Amino acid sequence: MGEKLTIDSTLRCDVLVIGAGGAGLRAAAQIGELRPGTKIIALTKVTSPQKSHTTTAQGGMAAVDPKDPVDKPIFHIFDTWKGSDCSADQNVIKKVCNMGWEEVVWLERNGMHFSRTEEGRIPKRPFGGHMLNFGETKAFRACYEADRTGKGIMDTVWNESLKHGVNFIGQCIATEILFKDNKCIGAIIFRYPEGKFLAILAKATIMATGGKTRMYLVSSNCRGNTGDGLAFALHAGIPIMDPEAVQFHPTGMVGPGILASEALRGEGAILRNKDKEPFMERYAPTAKDLAPRDLISRAIITEFREGRGLFHEGHNAQHVWLDLRHLPKEVHEKKIQEVCSFFKRFVGVDPEKDLCPVTPTAHYQMGGIPTNEFGEVQTDTQTIIPGLFACGEVAAASLHGLNRLGTNSLLELITLGKVTGERVVEYLKDAEDPEEISPDAGHIVFDQFSTYLNAQGTEKYAQIRETLRNLMMEKVGIFRTEKSLLEAIEGLKSLKERAMHIPIGITSLKANQDLWQIWELNNLITVSMVIAQGALARKESRGAHYREDYPERSNEFNYHTLVSMPEFNKITLGKRPIDMSIFEAKGERFELFDYIERKY
């Protein structure tokens, strides 16, 4: 202990990709394709990009096949706008939806193992909120690889990055973004195995660190989805857009919250309450079990509150049923093979014969680091940060606004990953090699780690983590009120303080799980504060953000929230206008792109 923390060495590259998941590596592959020989380093917290969280996505990637006789991109664009509860950016929706199919073809040509129709083509299934003719009836739009579409996508972008010579550095965290004259010049990273700090200097840096819902008691996210990217962006003075928009997926498996894909309902599964009633018919008479996720999650909690939920004793949790018993054997065995095996292994039920217990699980962040439609990071609508890009779940362009439709996230990773890669190639034309790191680089993480390594006290990591997860689930979850949010903010302040007094088990830097997790816990607390503050400021209900004290959507809040927090709980709120370019262009059915009523 007391050992001085220093940067061990400095690496140089053209492009640094922080986070080697679907979006980061789609960007990397695009750069490799357009500009062979570009020196790219891609960082991941896990051991290989193949193990990224993208690989757990199940149901599909939305894209309108131009050969489809009934579906059109404009329907998809409308569904995404309506699904967002009129809070996504129309320029981004239009760009992404129009690119969907060419990206499906790109993935397939580069080796993705999509499922096949009898004609040998890529099959499509229905998903929540995706409809034909501006909301009339369900659309078959989710292109899939059984119920492991994320794995297919992840394998493909990882493979293509490998093919283009991307240098992967695994088992590391990026702890600080480096700037020189307001330009991003790379990052400081910390490697788990050797316990060493490295500086990586890059002409361009892409942040693609993914999601962060591990602060919730029930979460479908990986162990490492702890909001690290958001935390260091906040530290660097970058605001987070729409942090209050946290998606709860309605069907997590009771217990750990493992995702039970919406594809199950796409294939015909039905939600039932204690009385076996298919209750979604009451909440969404047209879309029923394929209503958007925010509506269904609220419906499930309402069923719980009104006494029509069930209780799982083993996991000490409430749930409803997902009924898959009527689906053909062929569907169970081929189309939803992975999820069926998860139910058998983790819950001990056989979906062919038994009802499956499910409960809402924290799943996705719609908000994130604000970018324009090219993946350039913006501090406000006028100002971009040269050399810094962001894409994927960590970024908000914003395709999803306050609520995301299923299968639009895989679509976003791939399309905006590609767009970001293209923009980086443009940027590299005039970009110069950064000279040297500043002498004080690394001080943020050195201070943090020194504090954790030398902490005195009696606090326990596990207790703080569990208190946080319960607090966020209860007070900043599916239903929120001013009272619950203020309590959460007070609770978070106390947790932040307590987290400074966890005596550490090992003081060596090498493979120190304890140190790593305490760092992650601090990031979770930081990001939780931003979520709570964003939720407190938005005194309305829109998309996944639901305020019981303000249950209606309000035109006063027709904007994106920007929350800055350079120091813990030093909050500055800002606004970013919602892009309404489709409405303003007055083209085909433009009136549907106004702030319309949202009914399913």
What is the closest distance, in whole angstroms, from the C-beta atom of residue 362 to another protein in the complex? 15
Position among 129, 224, 227, 368 found at the interface with another protein (CB under 8 A): 224
Which region, judged by CB under 8 A, interacts with another protein, from 82-90, 273-281, 298-306, 508-516? 508-516
Cis peptide before 398 (omega within 30 of 0): yes
Instruction: Using CB under 8 A, count the residues that bind another protein.
Output: 67
Which region, judged by CB under 8 A, interacts with another protein, from 154-162, 388-396, 423-431, 437-445? 154-162
Which region, judged by CB under 8 A, interacts with another protein, from 110-118, 364-372, 478-486, 536-544? 110-118
Which region, judged by CB under 8 A, interacts with another protein, from 148-156, 236-244, 441-449, 528-536? 148-156
Position among 222, 263, 410, 489 found at the interface with another protein (CB under 8 A): 222
Q: What is the Cα–Cα distance from 215 to 235, expressed in whole angstroms?
A: 19
Break the chain down into helix, strand, coil percent, rounded to 5. Answer: 35, 20, 40
For residue 189, give the 3-state DSSP assignment. strand
Encoded tokens for 446: 């050195």
Could you please report the per-residue DSSP string of 320-386?
A: EEEE-TTS-HHIIIIISHHHHHHIIIII---TTTS-EEEEEEEEEES-BEEB-TTSEEEEETTEEEE
- Least Cα distance to 531 among 248, 296, 241, 257 occurs for 241
Which region, judged by CB under 8 A, interacts with another protein, from 9-17, 98-106, 380-388, 483-491? 98-106
Q: Which residues are catalytic?
A: 293
| Count of helix runs (H) and strand runs (E) in the chain | 16, 23
What is the closest distance, in whole angstroms, from the C-beta atom of residue 474 to another protein in the complex? 20
If one asks whether residue 73 binds another protein (CB under 8 A), the answer comes out as no
Q: What is the Cα–Cα distance from 414 to 278, expressed in whole angstroms?
A: 35
Which region, judged by CB under 8 A, interacts with another protein, from 32-40, 344-352, 361-369, 543-551? 344-352
**Where in 32-71 is the site for another protein (CB under 8 A)?**
46-48, 50-53, 55-56, 65, 67
Amino acid code (one letter) for 437? I
Q: What is the Cα–Cα distance from 401 to 399, expressed in whole angstroms?
A: 6
What is the closest distance, in whole angstroms, from the C-beta atom of residue 172 to another protein in the complex? 10
Cα angle: 176, vertex 55, 170; to 5 degrees? 40
If one asks whether residue 111 binds another protein (CB under 8 A), the answer comes out as yes
Position among 163, 282, 483, 589 found at the interface with another protein (CB under 8 A): 163
CB-based contact 520:224 (threshold 8 Å): yes
For residue 13, give the 3-state DSSP assignment. strand
Taking the least distance from each CB to another protein, the nearer of 226 and 533 is: 226
What is the closest distance, in whole angstroms, from the C-beta atom of residue 113 to another protein in the complex? 4
What are the residues whose beta carbons fall under 8 Å from the beta carbon of 4, sequence distance 6 or more?
A: none
Position among 39, 72, 113, 308 found at the interface with another protein (CB under 8 A): 113
- Least Cα distance to 376 among 433, 409, 416 occurs for 416
What is the closest distance, in whole angstroms, from the C-beta atom of residue 494 to another protein in the complex? 20
Taking the least distance from each CB to another protein, the nearer of 118 and 435 is: 118
CB-based contact 550:539 (threshold 8 Å): yes
Could you please report the per-residue DSSP string of 226-288?
A: S-HHHHHHHHTT--EESTT-EEEEEEEETTT--B--THHHHTT-EEE-TT---THHHH-TTTG
Taking the least distance from each CB to another protein, the nearer of 80 and 220 is: 220
What is the closest distance, in whole angstroms, from the C-beta atom of residue 389 to another protein in the complex? 24
Position among 10, 98, 171, 569 found at the interface with another protein (CB under 8 A): 171
Taking the least distance from each CB to another protein, the nearer of 182 and 513 is: 513
What is the closest distance, in whole angstroms, from the C-beta atom of residue 598 to another protein in the complex? 32
If one asks whether residue 148 binds another protein (CB under 8 A), the answer comes out as yes
What is the closest distance, in whole angstroms, from the C-beta atom of residue 216 to another protein in the complex? 15
Chain Cα centroid distance, residue 278? 30
CB-based contact 144:32 (threshold 8 Å): no
Residue tagged 């990397």 (tokens)? 28
Q: What is the Cα–Cα distance from 416 to 194, expressed in whole angstroms?
A: 34
Binding string to another protein for residues 460 to 499, with x set by CB under 8 A, is what? xxx-------------------------------------
List residues binding another protein (CB under 8 A).
46-48, 50-53, 55-56, 65, 67, 101, 104-105, 108-111, 113-122, 148, 151-152, 155, 159-160, 162-163, 170-171, 192-193, 222-224, 255-256, 258-259, 313-315, 338, 341-342, 345-346, 348, 460-462, 504-506, 508, 510-511, 513-514
